[in-house]
Chains A and B, each alone.
Chain A
Amino acid sequence: MSISHTSITVDRLSKRYRIGAKLERQDTLAGSLLALARRPLTNLRRLRDLTTFSETEVENDTIWALRDVSFEIKSGETVGIIGSNGAGKSTLLKILSRITQPSRGTAVVNGRVSSLLEVGTGFHADLTGRENVYLNGAILGMSRNEIDRKFDDIVEFSDVAKFIDTPVKRYSSGMTLRLAFSVAAHLEPEILMVDEVLAVGDIRFQKKCLGKMGEVASQGRTVLYVAHNMPAISRLCQRAILMGNGQVVQDGPVHEVISTYLNSGLGTSAVREWPDLQQAPGGDITRLCAVRVTDEAGNIAESVDIRRPLRIEMEFEVLQSGYILLPHLYIYNDEGVCAFGATDVDPEWRGRRRPTGRYTSTVTIPGNFLAEGMFFVDANMCALEPFIFQYWSRSSVAFMVADSLDGDSARGDWTGHMPGVVRPMLNWTTQYSQRVPARAATGTR
């Protein structure tokens, strides 16, 4: 089908939940006894009220988990939904997968839907791996024939072939998750809705899953993906919807939306500060105070242009003087690949024993060096001679490198996907000779 039709239409979707009202406190013995006697009655009212809402009632006892959310998703789009905890992402997904009903508004879904709010739903510890594959497959909507057909692939993908006839309770938790994800990965829906299920298994398996997700997305299916995992979202989705307080805050290209999200201070940001030295990472010699990502002018930058340099600052406090310190950073991309490590080689302090005080080490990463995408910074410190480990603060800050399509970056006129963790501007030369007919060439001689 060449015409793109709409897969999901969400129209002013709202969901109201009742939050537990506070019980009145009684100060006297008689009062407490009376309240205790009335308790069944108040309990009944409370439980009954869970499902009844009146339009006129004062709203301090209810919350709107979703409020007038509207958007459209075209068939074949891969859309990420991001937002902090309680923003309404999961509620939205639950409504779209028909687990719960909206209080107001409608959603129209066109196509075979599979929703994965968790992997391994319905897995039973007493059943074998094989039995659980069939059961879980049926729960996810596969027919028996379909499971028969895919069974070998599922088992192979999961790496648990040897234990397929062992009860799942004898599995390690990683094996169970791998098997569960394998079943899910072999669904063939037209619309896939996924919530945070990629955070499973070891790194190697996670990568396999990410690959499988990418495959699903590239087969022209519609994917709705909810996660806190910015790297995965930025990789899998072209479009993202940022939610906050049950409403759509922004809806647009994924990198723009992620940048808004990071700038709003809701997620991992380009600044991380530890105001309390007692709580800060570090040992007896030194403690980490802050890590910042800035642009060349020194302003905090969540997102930098690929052509411009950026700086990473590590601020730390030296508590004991007399040590040679080695601040260093590791930079990872969104697939968890380490782009590079960098050690402070500032000649002023290199090999020199430092007195107590506050230091800020800054490294400048040149423009046209890192590839576009999300990067995560580990801030590390150790003392040398003798070697004493101080801290290793993983993913302490994150930033986004955005490639422009102006044509003057390393991608030139290519606007598609480019692999690699670095994207240096290199020097290209061309040798040219005009192809002339062999006879004519000799003839001129």
Chain B
Amino acid sequence: MESASSYIPEVPPFRQSGVIGAEGWRLSSKVSELWHYRELFYFLVWRDVKVRYAQSILGIGWAMIQPLVPMILFTIIFGRVAKISSDGVPYALFSLAGLVPWTYFSNALNDASGSLVKEVAMLSKIYFPRLIIPLTSVLGRLIDLAISFVMLIVLMAWYQTVPTLWVVLLPLLVLITIVTASGLGMWLSALAVQYRDVRYALPFAVQFLMYAAPVVYPVSLIPASFRYFYAINPLVGVIEGFRATLLRSGPVPWDLIGIGSASAMLMLWFGTVYFLEKEPVFADVA
């Protein structure tokens, strides 16, 4: 008895007593399970970051180059040649402010979608909440976001741009991006376990999404009547928000951000539900 009462569990109680084979799941218990596995979550994110640029010469430098190269390209093609409006902001700055959140989003989505298939060896050997895997990819890319954000600040200093006080909104904008990437990432990763077509279709979809977001052009080019529909893509509000708060390209687009947040939450809900519905069969079909 003595050992039982003085016993402090060090492992999440979810590894403890449980009925296997009971039907269904509850969202609340899944979320608290995720919390109990937070150390594993932390270690996996840490591994993700640590391993990503292992044995490369530039290492984390790649996180800077990723948005910089398209920025230069876009500045030449869309800024100089096509002379697309950039709301009065220097085009290089304009496009980098769009590319920083966009690059994070597309990398996070890409990693998350393929994550379950990549970790199939682990899926079939050990139990832990599977939600951790796509979420790890989404969070692991935040380091890249931080580094590319530093690049943006450097460029802003170069152009002597002073941000507005609304920069306090940035964490919210990043959160919307995380939520969107998580929602879509969970859905696509669960889908990819069963249908590997996802891997082949995703590059097209990401390409399409980029042009459906104001990365290379400003929202002001979109007809006003069409804008709210356009804002269903949460990245619209995020990118415009980045530009408005950092580059003073215009007033904070509350409407776009509001619509985007709602649609991001919807995506998160749908992605989570789809994922949890499919979770029991991952090990069988992967």
How distant is the Cα of A115 from the Cα of B17 in the complex, in angstroms? 14
Q: In the complex, are the beta carbons of A50 and B127 less than 8 A apart?
A: no
How far, in Å, is A20 (CB) from chain B's closest CB?
12
The residue of chain B having its C-beta at the shortest distance from the C-beta of A50 within the complex is: B285
Q: In the complex, are the beta carbons of A117 and B280 less than 8 A apart?
A: no
How far, in Å, is A146 (CB) from chain B's closest CB?
5
Question: Assuming A112-B9, A134-B43, A143-B39, is B122 touching A102 (CB within 8 A)?
Answer: no
Q: In the complex, are the beta carbons of A108 and B283 less than 8 A apart?
A: no
How distant is the Cα of A51 from the Cα of B125 in the complex, in angstroms? 20
The residue of chain B having its C-beta at the shortest distance from the C-beta of A11 within the complex is: B21
How distant is the Cα of A139 from the Cα of B136 in the complex, in angstroms? 14
Q: In the complex, are the beta carbons of A106 and B21 less than 8 A apart?
A: yes
How far, in Å, is A243 (CB) from chain B's closest CB?
18
B11 CB contacts on chain A under 8 angstroms: 112, 141-143, 189
A139 CB contacts on chain B under 8 angstroms: 40, 43, 122, 126, 128
Q: Does A145 sit at the interface, judged by CB under 8 A?
A: yes
Map CB proximity to B onto A97-133 as digits: 1 under 8 Å, 0 otherwise.
1111110111111111111011001101011000100
B18 CB contacts on chain A under 8 angstroms: 98, 108-109
Counting chain B CB atoms within 10 Å of each CB, which of A131, A139, A142 scores highest? A139
Q: In the complex, are the beta carbons of B51 and A124 less than 8 A apart?
A: yes
Q: In the complex, are the beta carbons of A127 and B125 less than 8 A apart?
A: no
- The contact of B15 among A47, A100, A112, A145, by CB within 8 Å, is A112
Q: Does B157 sit at the interface, judged by CB under 8 A?
A: no
Q: List 11 A-B contacts (CB under 8 A).
A: A96-B20, A106-B20, A109-B17, A109-B20, A117-B125, A126-B51, A138-B44, A139-B40, A139-B43, A139-B128, A141-B40
- The contact of B10 among A96, A106, A142, by CB within 8 Å, is A142
Q: In the complex, are the beta carbons of A122 and B122 less than 8 A apart?
A: yes
Map CB proximity to A onto B31-67 as digits: 1 under 8 Å, 0 otherwise.
0000000011011101100110011000000000000
Other CB < 8 Å A-B pairs besides A51-B278, A111-B16, 17 of them? A48-B194, A50-B284, A99-B124, A99-B283, A100-B283, A101-B20, A102-B20, A102-B21, A106-B21, A107-B20, A110-B17, A111-B17, A117-B124, A122-B47, A126-B50, A127-B47, A140-B126
Q: Does B22 sit at the interface, judged by CB under 8 A?
A: yes
How far, in Å, is A285 (CB) from chain B's closest CB?
48
Map CB proximity to B onto A229-267 as digits: 1 under 8 Å, 0 otherwise.
000000000000000000000000000000000000000
Count contacts on A: residues with CB < 8 A to the other chain: 48
The residue of chain A having its C-beta at the shortest distance from the C-beta of B126 within the complex is: A121
Q: Does B19 sit at the interface, judged by CB under 8 A?
A: yes
How far, in Å, is A270 (CB) from chain B's closest CB?
35
Which of under 10, 10 to 19, 20 to 34, or 35 or more describes the interface residues of B?
Answer: 35 or more
How far, in Å, is B11 (CB) from chain A's closest CB?
4
How far, in Å, is A181 (CB) from chain B's closest CB?
14
B251 CB contacts on chain A under 8 angstroms: none
Q: Does B258 sit at the interface, judged by CB under 8 A?
A: no
Q: Does B195 sit at the interface, judged by CB under 8 A?
A: yes
Q: Does A13 sit at the interface, judged by CB under 8 A?
A: yes
A118 CB contacts on chain B under 8 angstroms: 125
Q: Does A17 sit at the interface, judged by CB under 8 A?
A: yes
Map CB proximity to A onto B123-146 as digits: 1 under 8 Å, 0 otherwise.
111111000000000000000000
Q: In the complex, are the beta carbons of A107 and B21 less than 8 A apart?
A: yes
A228 CB contacts on chain B under 8 angstroms: none
Q: In the complex, are the beta carbons of B127 and A17 less than 8 A apart?
A: no
How far, in Å, is A245 (CB) from chain B's closest CB?
19
A1 CB contacts on chain B under 8 angstroms: 1, 3-4
Q: Does B90 sit at the interface, judged by CB under 8 A?
A: no
Q: Does A94 sit at the interface, judged by CB under 8 A?
A: yes
A179 CB contacts on chain B under 8 angstroms: none
Question: Assuming A112-B11, A127-B51, is B43 touching A138 (CB within 8 A)?
Answer: yes
Q: Does B266 sit at the interface, judged by CB under 8 A?
A: no
How distant is the Cα of A112 from the Cα of B11 in the complex, in angstroms? 8
Q: In the complex, are the beta carbons of B43 and A135 less than 8 A apart?
A: yes
Question: Assuming A106-B19, A112-B16, is B122 touching A47 (CB within 8 A)?
Answer: no
A51 CB contacts on chain B under 8 angstroms: 194, 278, 281, 284-285
Counting chain A CB atoms within 10 Å of each CB, which of B22, B43, B47, B125 scores highest? B125
How distant is the Cα of A113 from the Cα of B42 in the complex, in angstroms? 21
How distant is the Cα of A277 from the Cα of B269 in the complex, in angstroms? 67
How distant is the Cα of A106 from the Cα of B126 in the complex, in angstroms? 19
Q: In the complex, are the beta carbons of A107 and B19 less than 8 A apart?
A: yes
Q: In the complex, are the beta carbons of B123 and A99 less than 8 A apart?
A: yes
Q: In the complex, are the beta carbons of B284 and A121 less than 8 A apart?
A: no
Q: Does B203 sit at the interface, judged by CB under 8 A?
A: no
Map CB proximity to A onto B74-118 as digits: 1 under 8 Å, 0 otherwise.
000000000000000000000000000000000000000000000
The residue of chain A having its C-beta at the shortest distance from the C-beta of B281 within the complex is: A51
A110 CB contacts on chain B under 8 angstroms: 16-17
How distant is the Cα of A113 from the Cα of B127 in the complex, in angstroms? 10
Map CB proximity to A onto B171-197 as digits: 1 under 8 Å, 0 otherwise.
000000000000000000000001100
B122 CB contacts on chain A under 8 angstroms: 121-122, 139
